[in-house]
Amino acid sequence: EKHCNMIRTIEMHTACHPLRIIESGFPAILGDTILDKMSYIKENLDYIRKLVMQEPRGCSSMFGAWALKPDLPEADAAFLFLNTTGYTTMCGHAIIALGRYCVDNKLVEYKEPETQVNIQCPCGLVKVYVACSGGVSGKARFHSVPSYSYKLGIVLDLPSYGKVTVDVSYGGAFYAVLPLSAVKLSFETSPLNDIIAAAMEVKKMAEDQIPIIHPDGKEASFLYGVLFTEDKGDLEAKTLCLYGKGTADRSPCGSGTTARMALMFAKGQVAVGESKVFRNPITKSKFSAEITERVNSNNEVIVQISGQAFYTGDCNFIKESADNVDDGFLML
């Protein structure tokens, strides 16, 4: 006897960070819009998130995409993004994987040399372009929703590190951005646990002191993560995203990279048509980014992110009625 229907997932990774795509096995989801459905899932079906994201079926870095019915007529598919601690409005590494997934599952008409997939996310419609050859999908690139710098030069007084200056930028989700050197740490020599602890202190102080307001309302108005950076002025920069209760992104973070490019554009450090490579300092995985368009005079831009996703498996998850372990747990 099972506690719930068998939940079927497809497993992928993009630039080292996992993606678990929830295909089926969940009850009907009510709501007119994707943000309505996000609220419904939070209030009524959060046990499914815990079941497939957290231990013993998931892990601290597990990330998910929940397949939904789109409500935008131009969308080919719709997905909600989730992780071990909650939900978010956008995820670039997931979008790159979902582009391949949609092509391979015939949600769009296959075309060579490139197939366009329109994916509805809680932040809006994201266009993905998947390289296709000989019946096989490959690398993908996506065009972000309009992205922008939100707050510049905010001083936070951290209990453990003193005063630091952070910027907040939006790339489908909001991020606090600052050099790792601001907290006197180094990607080369500092233990990851020390970097995580610093990021969580920045995140808490930023959440307490910087109001986050998005036009789409409360479901989109939150600080998702912290981006620690190192940029020596060449064509490649290091970036590490820390989110949730202290998860380090294994990829360079697609929406974080988008936010960082929007921030660099606002500061005059990159122009329309210019590109840059962002590398995760731990896994060495990378994304390429380019400003493709300035949307308006408010420095909102469209950013193109390019990367590669791969399949790693497929799973069927259950919970037996005699299993007295909670739907999920975290050891943080």
Once rounded to an integer, what is the mean pLDDT over residues 129-137?
Answer: 98
- Please state, in angstroms and rounded to a whole number, the distance separating the CA atoms of residues 27 and 14: 28
Residue 324 falls inside a structural domain: no
Q: State yes or no: pLDDT of 2 exceeds 50.
A: no
Q: State yes or no: pLDDT of 4 exceeds 70.
A: no
Q: Based on the structure, what is the number of domains in the chain?
A: 2
pTM of the predicted protein model: 0.94
Residues 21-32: tens digit of each pLDDT: 999 999 999 999
Once rounded to an integer, what is the mean pLDDT over residues 169-188?
Answer: 97
Once rounded to an integer, what is the mean pLDDT over residues 277-305?
Answer: 95
192 and 239 part of one domain: yes
Active site members:
91
Residues 96-107: tens digit of each pLDDT: 999 999 999 999
Residue 281 falls inside a structural domain: yes
92 and 234 part of one domain: no
Once rounded to an integer, what is the mean pLDDT over residues 210-221?
Answer: 92
Range of the domain at 158: 148-306
Average pLDDT, the chain: 95
138 and 202 part of one domain: no
Residues 264-277: tens digit of each pLDDT: 999 999 999 999 99
161 and 119 part of one domain: no
100 and 244 part of one domain: no
Residue 329 falls inside a structural domain: no
Residue 327 falls inside a structural domain: no
Residues 227-270: tens digit of each pLDDT: 999 988 767 899 999 999 999 999 999 999 999 999 999 999 99
165 and 185 part of one domain: yes
Residue 174 falls inside a structural domain: yes
SS (H, E, C) the chain: CECCCCEEEEEEEECCEEEEEEEECCCCCCCCCHHHHHHHHHHHCHHHHHHHHCECCCCCCCEEEEEECCCCCCCCEEEEEEECCCEECCCHHHHHHHHHHHHHCCCCCCCCCEEEEEEEECCEEEEEEEEEECCEEEEEEEECCCEEEEEEEEEEEECCCEEEEEEEEECCCEEEEEEHHHHCCCCCCCCHHHHHHHHHHHHHHHHHHCCCCCCCCHHHCCEEEEEEEECCCCCEEEEEEEECCCEECCCCCHHHHHHHHHHHHHCCCCCCCCEEEEECCCCCCEEEEEEEEECCCCCCEEEEEEECEEEEEEEEECCECCCCCCCCECCC
Q: State yes or no: pLDDT of 3 exceeds 70.
A: no
Residue 111 falls inside a structural domain: yes
Q: What percent of the chain has pLDDT over 70?
A: 98
Residue 152 falls inside a structural domain: yes
Instruction: Report the pLDDT value the prediction gives residue 232, as an integer from 0 to 100.
Output: 80
DSSP bridge partners of 239: 229
Residue 288 falls inside a structural domain: yes
196 and 98 part of one domain: no
Among the residue ranges 1-5, 22-26, 57-61, 297-301, the one predicted with the least confidence is 1-5
Instruction: Report the pLDDT value the prediction gives residue 320, as an integer from 0 to 100.
Output: 87
Q: State yes or no: pLDDT of 179 exceeds 80.
A: yes
274 and 182 part of one domain: yes
171 and 49 part of one domain: no
Q: How confident is the model at residue 288 (pLDDT cuts 50, 70, 90)?
A: very high
Instruction: Report the pLDDT value the prediction gives residue 28, as an integer from 0 to 100.
Output: 92
Largest distance between two CA atoms of the chain: 61
Residues 36-46: tens digit of each pLDDT: 999 999 999 99
